[in-house]
């Protein structure tokens, strides 16, 4: 995983005075006192499972990682409720509504090799219909067995989430 260090901003977004670049995580304007905090972008990931325990993944139609497999989901909008955002992303990418079931994991990542820092939260979901079609920034959809996932997964956080899902799924099978 690539560690993200946000580029310091040169000017204060409130008063346009120059701000020191010495702390890439917290920049304080000496003129107006505004503090600019750099933090991870919140993202939500949906892990739809079918009756056989296969997970639905989407093939990315955008960069970074165009053409790689990806968990359904994406960025929350400013101030958006995470569960509303997760349902919105499922609807945007699959064209169907869903019920949110169980928390799987949280994982940090970056949006591409040198992109913005992310904090991804993953949940299993039940789709209201299996009649799904790739939409928005997804160019293909495919159901994968948890023990036969594609090698070309876009994000390290997706790999970790799918491994956590596989481990939970095996635990429930044996338990």
pLDDT at 172: 63
Residue 98 contacts residue 130 (beta carbons within 8 Å) = no
Instruction: Convert the pLDDT of each residue in 25-42 to its tens digit.
Output: 888 999 999 998 888 999
Domains of the chain (ranges plus CATH)? Answer: 1-39 (no CATH), 41-174 (3.90.79.10)
HEC readout, the chain: CCCCCCCCCCECCCCCCECCCCCCCEEECCCCCCEEECCCEEEEEEEEECCCCCEEEEEECCCCCCCCEECEEEECCCCCCHHHHHHHHHHHHHCCCEEEEEEEEEEEEECCCCCCEEEEEEEEEEECCCCCCCCCCEEEEEEECCCCCCCCECCHHHHHHHHHHHHHHHHHHHC
pLDDT at 7: 61
- Confidence band of 52 (pLDDT split at 50, 70, 90): very high
pTM of the entire predicted model: 0.87
Mean pLDDT of the chain: 92
**In the predicted structure, residue 159 carries a pLDDT above the cut 50:** yes
- Confidence band of 5 (pLDDT split at 50, 70, 90): low
**In the predicted structure, residue 144 carries a pLDDT above the cut 70:** yes
pLDDT at 1: 46
Instruction: Convert the pLDDT of each residue in 84-119 to its tens digit.
Output: 999 999 999 999 999 999 999 999 999 998 888 899
């Amino acid at each position: 995983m690539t560690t993200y260090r946000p580029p310091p901003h040169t000017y204060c977004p409130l008063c346009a005075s120059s701000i020191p670049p010495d702390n890439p995580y917290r920049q304080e304007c000496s003129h107006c006192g505004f503090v600019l905090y750099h933090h991870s972008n919140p993202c939500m990931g949906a892990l739809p499972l079918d009756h056989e325990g296969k997970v639905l993944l989407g093939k990315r139609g955008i960069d970074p990682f165009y053409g790689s497999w990806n968990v359904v989901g994406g960025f929350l909008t400013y101030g958006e409720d995470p569960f509303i955002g997760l349902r919105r992303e499922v609807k945007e990418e699959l064209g169907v509504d869903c019920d949110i079931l169980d928390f799987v994991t949280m994982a940090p990542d970056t949006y591409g090799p040198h992109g913005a820092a992310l904090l991804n939260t993953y949940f299993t979901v039940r789709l209201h219909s299996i009649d799904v079609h790739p939409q928005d920034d997804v160019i293909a959809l495919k159901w994968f067995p948890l023990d036969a996932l594609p090698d070309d997964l876009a994000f390290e956080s997706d790999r970790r989430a799918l491994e956590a899902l596989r481990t939970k799924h095996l635990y429930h099978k044996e338990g």
